[in-house]
Amino acid sequence: MNIYFHIDELNRDAVVASALRKKFAQIGHNLIYGNRATNRLLKYFHKAFDVIIVPRPHMLYDNWKDDWISWDTRFVMLSSESLGIICKDHQVMARTLLEKGYFEGNRKYVDRIDAFCLWGSKQLQAVKDYAGDVLHKCHVVGHPRHDASCVNDHGVSATGTRPTKKIIGVITRAVALNDYFKRSSLNGYTTLFDDHFQYEFFNKTTGEKLPSKRPGVRPSDTLVVQAIDAENTLKIISRLLNAGYEVSVRVHPKENADVWKDLLTRCNLGAEVSNSRLPIATWIKRLDYLVGPPSTCFYDAVMLGVTPISISEIDSRRKESVGELWEENNRLMEYIYKPNTIEDLINYIKSETRNFNGNEILNILKEEADFPACGSALTKVVAVCTSNISIPKNRNIFLMLFVSSRYIFFKIWRVRNKFIGREENSAMFAMCREETQFIDSLSSTI
């Protein structure tokens, strides 16, 4: 059996692709990596695959219009992000999983999809509350990036010894200011006139509508908060370094890491910018504390036994710009330490205070990420993908054509990018041999 797995963000999703490839190989199946560029080829070579795995339904019709509905293949949804604030509002969660078209009366796409792999019981409850007719297609598998084969020590020093200094991880979130596509911050203001951002869904037939409360609906708020956070992040890094800590910065997957490297150099801040191509779990496992603006990364930290610290209360100016469906208001944030000053933050670290194993926190992780059962998340995904396929078809000729075409496509694609001055990034990258070998190396064979 041949499986196509779409890697939406290399710096986030590649480790899941890597682990799944090994798990399928163990039972005699072949997983092929795809991305936003190779999706264009799938229109012509879809007969090569028995199963196609993508994060969201919209990727199917965005890439292939309605053609995919008639393809002889199974379609499985495996979310790349599915916890945090969207779990707090079940209607928003259901809309995120099934897309707006379903709630606007166009259900043919969801009807054609064979399975939805959900991260936890919270997401399942959201579907039960607002889309009960889809419930039979839903399977709770757990947080895929916390499968045991994804959480490894790739890239850690061979000695395995910890440094004498405490390592403080700092995460950034300045996507609106530092977009990896190098788009202007003004680009965000198009959301003011786009119904896609103004409404979660708007069913013109029934009149039902759900106004959006997500970040981005009011772009000025996003810019204000991210500008304040960037300022405080630099101040905190400086203070941590002066206090004698080792600081490692993890740049948001949708940011340009080179901008942060240049900024730290010009500010004379000797902090390391981590290799964002390596799985975030690998990076977090090295840390003593994780510091940054509210983020779903705090979930990762807690599941890996690292205490997160939020910088959301350090500057009072940001409060009035924070909306209802921002990560500041997710269920976990109630239990995360939020110092009022940078000095309080430093003292908290000095005191070696820990906070990641309370019953309330563990319950949230269980409901949203199926923790700790998510250690076998990808084994469950494999089971979902292989169900109801009794005799896989012989698709090797089509697969050979797909792989050959992909090779030629990316040769031309890279030449074109060089000619127009476009750099590769986490979303748009060449799926060449070196890249596939790197992806293969990211996971273990557990």
- Residue 377 token pair: 């998340």
Does residue 210 lie in a domain region?
Answer: yes
Among 84, 133, 69, smallest CA distance to 300 is for 84
pLDDT number for residue 196: 79
Does residue 446 lie in a domain region?
Answer: no
Helix (H, G, I), strand (E, B) or coil at 391: coil
Q: Are residues 129 and 229 in the same domain?
A: no
Q: Are residues 213 and 361 in the same domain?
A: yes
CATH code for position 322: 3.40.50
pLDDT number for residue 404: 95
The residue ranges of DSSP E strands in 332-446, in sequence order, are: none
Q: Are residues 222 and 104 in the same domain?
A: no
Mean pLDDT per 10-residue segment, the chain (446 residues): 96 97 96 96 95 97 97 96 96 96 96 98 98 97 97 53 80 96 92 88 91 92 97 98 97 95 97 94 96 97 96 96 96 96 97 85 97 98 89 86 95 93 91 95 89
Does residue 255 lie in a domain region?
Answer: yes
pLDDT number for residue 195: 78
pLDDT number for residue 153: 64
Number of helical (H) and strand (E) elements in the chain, helices listed first: 17, 13
Does residue 23 lie in a domain region?
Answer: yes
DSSP 40-89: HHHHHHGGG-SEEEESSTHHHHHHHTTGGGGSSSEEEEE-S---SGGGTS
Measuring CA to CA, how many Å separate 408 from each of 36, 398, 405?
16, 15, 5
- Residues 328-346 have pLDDT tens digits of 999 999 999 999 999 999 9
- Residues 41-70 have pLDDT tens digits of 999 999 999 999 999 999 999 999 999 999
Question: Number of folded domains in the chain?
Answer: 2
In sequence order, the 6+-apart residues with CB closer than 8 A to the CB of 148 are: 375, 376, 444, 446
Helix (H, G, I), strand (E, B) or coil at 202: strand
Q: Are residues 356 and 403 in the same domain?
A: no
Does residue 340 lie in a domain region?
Answer: yes
Does residue 154 lie in a domain region?
Answer: no
Q: Of 342, 365, 388, which one is at a domain's C-terminal end? A: 365
Q: Are residues 129 and 73 in the same domain?
A: yes
**Residue 402 structural domain:** 2-148+371-440
By the 8 A CB rule, do 51 and 385 touch? yes
Q: Are residues 141 and 191 in the same domain?
A: no
Q: Of 365, 385, 412, which one is at a domain's C-terminal end? A: 365
Q: Are residues 55 and 189 in the same domain?
A: no
Q: Are residues 360 and 375 in the same domain?
A: no
pLDDT number for residue 163: 60
The alpha carbon of residue 23 and the mean position of all alpha carbons in its chain are separated, in whole angstroms, by 21
- Residues 27-49 have pLDDT tens digits of 999 999 999 999 999 999 999 99
Q: Are residues 359 and 376 in the same domain?
A: no
Q: Are residues 183 and 321 in the same domain?
A: yes
Does residue 42 lie in a domain region?
Answer: yes
Burial class (CB in 10 A: 0-12, 13-18, 19+), 355: middle
Give the DSSP letter of residue 143. Answer: -
By the 8 A CB rule, do 144 and 122 touch? no
Q: Of 365, 388, 416, which one is at a domain's C-terminal end? A: 365
Q: Are residues 108 and 25 in the same domain?
A: yes
The CA-based angle 118-36-87, given to 5 degrees, is 25
Does residue 361 lie in a domain region?
Answer: yes
Q: Are residues 347 and 385 in the same domain?
A: no
Number of Cβ atoms within 10 Å of the Cβ of 255? 22
Give the predicted TM-score (pTM) of the model. 0.94
